[in-house]
A and B are shown apart, each in its own frame.
Chain A
Amino acid sequence: MEGALFPLEKGVVYHEPMDVLVKNVGDESGSMVELREISKWYARGVLHRRATHAVRGLSLKIRTGEVFGLLGPNGAGKTTTVKMICGLIRPTSGDVRLGADRQTPRQAQRRQLIGAVLEGNRNVYWNLTAWENLLYYARLRGLSRRDVAPRGRALLDLFELSAKRTSLAGTLSRGMQQKLAVCCALIAEPPILLVDEPTLGLDVTSARAIESVLGDLVEKDGRSVLLTTHNMKLAESLCHRIGIIRNGELLRVGTVREFRELFGRPLCHIECAGSLSPETRTRLARQPGTTVEAGDDTVRISVDLSAGHEATACVYAALRTLEEAGARLLSLRREEPSLEDVFVRMTGAGGS
């Protein structure tokens, strides 16, 4: 049930009492985070006559138990959005609503709802051990050692950091520091977790470990997670829904499947051995939506299947042309569009 709002801080509306923080289940529509038309612009120049728009009128809802991925090229406004949700950057306009059914006029209570890992591994004290970092952040959030010791041990186990419990954070690898930062964000069991670029600069193994743990957190604990990343594979495997942001504007929100269906181009790849004569290549390339790429000892013909019925005819036409040319067929397969393809198409930027 949504009640009257208390906009104590410009652009931020407080909602949730902390006595129910962990078991909070969101509002009746199931959203734990709601952004309403938030914008952020920075005045520039001596007389503040110019403005840089970091985020423009962004609205979205993150549901309880959902991983929401915010994807966008560098400078798109992802981190600014995350920091506005945290209250670390004040929105120029719009509302950030956290939690659910009752109003909380206390900023402190709003902060208790959030655990955040910002800028990867830069969230822990390098001169404290992994365990000391956990205890420090737990106490900072009002929990005693007795309250958090079992949870802290379980988190270190979960992230495979138990063996590094007494190692200084500064001596850990970047991946371990990143995992420790996630542990610290989770030590007070916040119902909302904001993770900014969790796999940035990590090797494949560490990135997979983070991915697996984040997935478990949502599945087992029902947390709401907002993830910003350039790693399309991570977003594809973890996120229930994604939003693509460019130049501070949220272009679209949907599931990965919806994005693929709307913006992706399924392709049919035909691979042949050897080379093709210039005439054959020209005939193939004349077909609509067909491209020909010559490799060292193979030729790949790709047909865009998004044109539906006509595309099927193009595939048959290509096969006939190849048969007439006496080409030896190696493989024929359909390739679904990846999120990266969709991302590049929508933003005109490299995804990773």
Chain B
Amino acid sequence: MKRIACLFTAELSHRLILLRRYALGTAADVLTFYLVFVGVHFSIRSIVGEVGAADLQRLATSQVVGFLAFYFSSMVLSSIGNYLREGVEQGTLEQLFLAPHPFLLVLGARLISTFIIDVLRVVPLFFLLTATTGVRIAFTPAGLLIFFVLLIGVYGFAVLLGGLTLLFKRTGQLPFLFQVLFLGLGFSSLEGASAGIRVVTAVLPFARGVALLKSTTIEPMSIGSVVASAGFLELGLNALGYVLIGVLFFVWSERVAKNRGLLGRY
């Protein structure tokens, strides 16, 4: 147990040191995300035109919630690829494989540490978004539950991409592709989408969760009724599927990388 605690301390302190050391870069990141939100938010408002105050409130709430979910998912997607790629570039990845833990545990420690840092980073972004849009967002237990299940699916998907990075290394464009897709899904609604698009997005790790999250935030529900809903069941199965596929694919990729001697090569 002490070893695992030390592992988490190693990763968390590493992330905190970098957060402090590169505070300006962190601030620039947050500002960039904020500007992206402002750009998209006001563009959509200008397209929608004059609507009632209640509708505007609903639209803004939906956008803020969608954007925050996108922000976290985006961080998760890029973190694993960056972690592995930087590790190979700096030669530290092989050292991580020499740690007395399964590599997935080391990766898990890094992901949890990154999540904690992302929470710290999102606080100023959250205040900026709510101040700009004037919405008030209540964090309900049901909303938080949906958010965590959504993130679990995204983590599973990111681990799958991590497996690809182990094998092919230069996969930086893949997370970017999905980040753009998630940004679109964070702002848009699938209500008017065709059946085909609905099926495709239902299979993706983000779409179902963010839709459920938006609706739960706009019209609060009890945790019991959320858990009992078909939408949450689908979200849970989706997340579970991605975690299973992600982990299995990563373990397979690790095995192939060791067979082919790819861990130290970029």
Instruction: Decide yes or no whether B95 CB sits under 8 A from chain A.
Output: yes
Q: Are B91 and A119 in contact (CB under 8 A)?
A: yes
Residues of A within 8 A of B2 (CB): 142, 144
Which residues of chain A are within 8 angstroms of B260 by Cβ–Cβ distance?
42
Q: Is the beta-carbon distance between A140 and B264 smaller than 8 angstroms? A: no
Number of interface residues of B (CB under 8 A): 32
In the bound complex, residues from chain A placing their C-beta under 8 Å from that of B22 are 127
On whether the beta carbons of A111 and B100 are closer than 8 Å, the reply is yes
- Interchain CB contact (< 8 A) of A136 among B14, B255, B258: B14
CB distance from B4 to the nearest CB of A (A): 8
Q: Say if the beta carbon of B90 comes within 8 Å of chain A.
A: yes
Q: Does B47 contact A (CB under 8 A)?
A: no
Complex interface: chain A residues within 8 A of B96 (CB): 140
Q: B261 contacts which of A80, A109, A114 (Cβ < 8 Å)?
A: A80
Check A257 for interface membership: any CB of B closer than 8 A: no
Rounded to whole angstroms, the CA-CA distance of A127 and B19 in the bound complex is: 11
With CB as the reference atom, state the residue of chain A lying closest to B97.
A88
| Docked complex Cα distance between A24 and B258 (Å) | 28
A-B contact count (CB 8 A): 101
In A38-57, which residues have CB < 8 Å from any B CB? 40, 42, 54
Cβ–Cβ < 8 Å partners of A18 in chain B: 100
- Asked, given contacts A90-B259, A139-B7, A140-B10, whether A125 binds B90 with beta carbons under 8 Å apart, the answer is yes
Question: Could you say which of A126, A127, A141, A144 contacts B99, with CB atoms under 8 Å apart?
Answer: A141
- Closest B residue to A92 by beta carbon equals B259
In the bound complex, how far is the Cα of B17 from the Cα of A127, in angstroms?
9
| B263 lies within 8 A of A88 (CB) | yes
The 8 Å CB contact of B100, one of A40, A108, A118, A121, is: A108
Interface size range of chain A in the complex:
35 or more
B94 touches A118 (CB 8 A): yes
Whether A136 and B10, one on each chain, are in contact in the complex, defined by CB atoms closer than 8 angstroms, is: yes
Give every chain B residue within 8 A of A83 (Cβ-Cβ): 94, 261, 264
Q: For window 217-256 of chain B, which residues contact chain A by CB distance below 8 Å?
A: 255
**Which residue on chain A has the smallest CB distance to residue B10?**
A139
**Which residues does chain A contribute within 8 Å of B132, judged by CB atoms?**
none
Contacts of B91 in A (CB 8 A): 118-119, 121-123
Give the docked Cα–Cα distance between A132 and B99 (Å).
17
Q: Is B6 touching A114 in the complex (CB atoms < 8 A)?
A: no
Residues of B with C-beta under 8 A to A136 = 10, 13-14
Question: Considering residues B22, B101, B255, which has the most beta carbons from chain A within 10 angstroms of its beta carbon?
Answer: B101
B134 interface hit (Cβ, 8 Å): no
Complex CA distance for A88 and B259, rounded to whole angstroms: 9
B binding-site residues for A, Cβ under 8 Å:
2-3, 6-7, 9-10, 13-14, 17-18, 21-22, 90-92, 94-102, 106, 255, 258-261, 263-264
Binding site for B on A (CB under 8 A): 18, 40, 42, 54, 80, 83, 86-90, 107-109, 111-112, 114, 116, 118-119, 121-128, 132, 135-144, 184
Q: A121-B91, A122-B91, A144-B6 are in contact. List 17 more A-B contacts (CB 8 A).
A: A83-B94, A88-B97, A88-B263, A89-B259, A89-B261, A107-B102, A116-B94, A116-B98, A123-B94, A127-B18, A128-B14, A132-B14, A141-B99, A141-B100, A142-B7, A143-B6, A144-B2
Q: Which 6 A-B pairs have the closest CB atoms?
A: A122-B91, A142-B3, A139-B10, A108-B100, A139-B6, A90-B258
11 A-B pairs whose Cβ atoms sit less than 8 Å apart in the complex: A40-B261, A54-B261, A88-B98, A89-B259, A114-B98, A118-B264, A123-B92, A125-B90, A140-B96, A141-B100, A184-B95
